[in-house]
Amino acid sequence: MALIPAGWFTMGDTLDGSVNAIPTNIYVSAFVMDVNLVTFSSWQNVVNFASSFLGYSFKYAGLGKNSAANQPVQTVDWFDCVKWCNARSQLSSLTPVYYTDAGFTQVFTSGNSGTTVYQNLAANGYRLPTEAEWEKAARGGLSGRRFPWGNLISERQANYYGITNGYSYDRAPNGYNSIGSIGGTSPATSPVGSFDVNGYGLYDMAGNVCEWCWDWYGTPYGQPSTINPTGASTGSYRVERGGNWGVDADGSRCAFRNYGFNPDYAGSGIGFRCVRGL
């Protein structure tokens, strides 16, 4: 995991006319984040143990392209990712973060759609990043840039779908990324860590698979506070960030907010990574 330092940063940008990403000054406490997306191998290891010995129940088995160990897991819904975080915590002798009661006595181990999940941010276990944590991490210490490395994007920097005549900042060939073992067959994911790191040492913060965040989608930023915001109190959609192998350059921007899926949706362009508080 990589350290993401505490501090204020500008969340959102107005580079491309987004109306739901108005720049806002946000403070985020220090935390650590997985350098890579959760892999298919890691997903399976935790799921198998948690299902056999800890009483967990997962709705989706999760998939990895060609069942390769180093491919990002995909086709996982928000609820199963949250349960996986809890199971990973228990396997590491850490306190789980997610519960089915506000008193934090019943660890969330089963259930999907319709289950109310409470997070205990005082716990030291693994969890999904908040939307603010994700964007601060994605920017890698840069400010006011479209992507983790700057304002232009190409297939050598991220796994996304090129449309060069649609965006002036897209320098990749059109279509699916052709580098390495990615290929053009669905799902066209790439092995984790296939592209350059950002300023915080994180891979795949743009492209490959979208990443579930904790937050319900809501506007404006900074709910309920601009200090360590955790998002809207209720909603219909959980936020996804980062773009994926089938999404164009616009959707791969640091400030792009993907909020079109219910938390019980699982698709081949959706994965996740974990964080821990300090």
C-alpha to C-alpha distance for 77 and 58, rounded to whole angstroms? 10
**Domain at 244, CATH number:** 3.90.1580.10
Burial of 111 (0-12, 13-18, 19+ CB in 10 A): middle
CB 201 within 8 A of CB 35: yes
Strands 210-216 and 238-241 come out as antiparallel
Read off the pLDDT of residues 41-74 as tens digits, 9 standing for 90 and up.
Answer: 999 999 999 999 999 999 999 999 989 999 999 9
pLDDT at position 221, please? 87
Asked whether residue 98 carries a pLDDT value surpassing 80, the answer given is yes
Read off the pLDDT of residues 132-156 as tens digits, 9 standing for 90 and up.
Answer: 999 999 999 999 999 999 999 999 9
**Average pLDDT rounded to a whole number, residues 69-83:** 97
Tell me the pLDDT band of 172, cut-offs 50, 70 and 90: confident
3-state secondary structure of 176: coil
**Average pLDDT rounded to a whole number, residues 99-113:** 97
pLDDT at position 86, please? 98
Asked whether residue 184 carries a pLDDT value surpassing 70, the answer given is no
Residues pairing with 277 in the sheet: 31
Nearest C-alpha neighbor of 85 from the set 114, 35, 124: 124
Average pLDDT of the chain, as a whole number: 95
Instruction: List the domain range (segments joined by +) for residue 23.
Output: 1-278
The count of structural domains within the chain is 1
What six digits make up the tokens of 14?
Answer: 């107005």
pLDDT at position 182, please? 59
Nearest C-alpha neighbor of 213 from the set 194, 229, 197, 198: 229
Asked whether residue 183 carries a pLDDT value surpassing 70, the answer given is no
Tell me the pLDDT band of 181, cut-offs 50, 70 and 90: low
Asked whether residue 180 carries a pLDDT value surpassing 80, the answer given is no
Nearest C-alpha neighbor of 87 from the set 122, 142, 38: 38
Question: Dihedral angle at the C-alpha atoms of 20, 242, 238, 94, nearest 10 degrees?
Answer: -130
